[in-house]
Amino acid sequence: MHIHTHVHTYIHIYIRTYIHTHTYIKIYIHKYTHIHTYIHTYTHTYIPTYIHTYTHTYIHTYIHTYIHTYIHTYIHTYIHTYIQEAEKTIAKWQIQWDATTKGRANKEYFPNVTERLKMKLRLSPNLTAMVTAHGKTKAYLHRFKIIQSPECFCKHGDQTRDDLLYDCEILGKERENLTAYISREEDWSVRKR
């Protein structure tokens, strides 16, 4: 009987241990499932929500504030200041241009500095020579005693810039072509101002 009781006790302990272990395993699995659910919820809900909130609230607000406050203000101030300084410079330039006795030939074509700056002209040595009246005209070359006579080939006066552009009868056809071209292609007056 002693052995029977002992075996019975052993079996009873084994069964209780098994039940206890099984219960422990169920509790462990339950806790593991709960922890897994918590981790899943945390990684798929809280972290994305936090990141979304952070990026769309703080970063968006920072960028918006930076762009619309600092950069906008800086650019507005810079452009406004630049325009004011440019206007002051052009006004000062106009006063000096009006006061100078030099560049009289240029003033005949460009009396106003602002208007000249708005013009889109294709500059060339020939254009510069004609506007400044420092070109290879007979009157200019005669002035420096390079040639004997300042008279134009048309025999109606001295060969000056104005004679070539407006009066010389020999250049009538070229004058018409030039007038048609600059009236169409360039912001240029066909007459002196």
pLDDT digits (tens, 9 = 90+) for 109-166: 889 999 888 888 888 898 888 888 888 899 999 999 999 999 999 999 999 988 988 8
pLDDT of residue 113: 93
Q: Looking at the structure, do residues 95 and 10 belong to the same domain, yes or no?
A: yes
pLDDT of residue 86: 92
Would you place residue 12 in the very low, low, confident or very high pLDDT band (cuts 50, 70, 90)?
Answer: low
Residue that terminates a domain, selected from 99, 128, 147: 99
Beta strands in the chain (DSSP E): none
> Does the residue 191 lie in any domain?
no
Residue 67: is its pLDDT beyond 70? yes
pLDDT of residue 24: 65
Residue found under tokens 């009236």: 183
- Find, among 153, 136, 155, the residue nearest to 144 by Cα: 136
Residue 26: is its pLDDT beyond 80? no
Q: Return d(Cα 141, Cα 145) in angstroms, integer.
A: 6
Phi, psi of 158 (to 5 degrees): -70, 145
Q: Looking at the structure, do residues 91 and 111 belong to the same domain, yes or no?
A: no
Q: Looking at the structure, do residues 83 and 120 belong to the same domain, yes or no?
A: no
Cβ 139 vs Cβ 162: under 8 Å: no
pTM for the whole structure = 0.54
> Does the residue 117 lie in any domain?
yes
Q: Looking at the structure, do residues 46 and 110 belong to the same domain, yes or no?
A: no
Q: Looking at the structure, do residues 15 and 66 belong to the same domain, yes or no?
A: yes
- Which residues have a Cβ under 8 Å from the Cβ of 35 and sit 6 or more positions away? none
Query: What is the residue-averaged pLDDT of the chain?
Result: 80
pLDDT of residue 31: 65
> Does the residue 141 lie in any domain?
yes
Using CA atoms, how far residue 181 sits from 50, 106, 124, 185, 187, in Å, is 68, 21, 16, 6, 11
Residue 1: is its pLDDT beyond 60? no
pLDDT of residue 17: 66
Q: Return d(Cα 95, Cα 118) in angstroms, integer.
A: 18
- Which residues have a Cβ under 8 Å from the Cβ of 189 and sit 6 or more positions away? 109
Residue 94: is its pLDDT beyond 90? yes
**Which tokens is 169 given?**
């009868």
Question: pLDDT above 90 covers what percent of the chain?
Answer: 28
pLDDT of residue 189: 62
The DSSP letter of residue 122 is: -
The DSSP letter of residue 154 is: T
Supply the Cα-derived Rg of the chain in whole angstroms. Answer: 48
Q: Looking at the structure, do residues 7 and 39 belong to the same domain, yes or no?
A: yes
Query: Domain residues for 49?
Result: 1-99
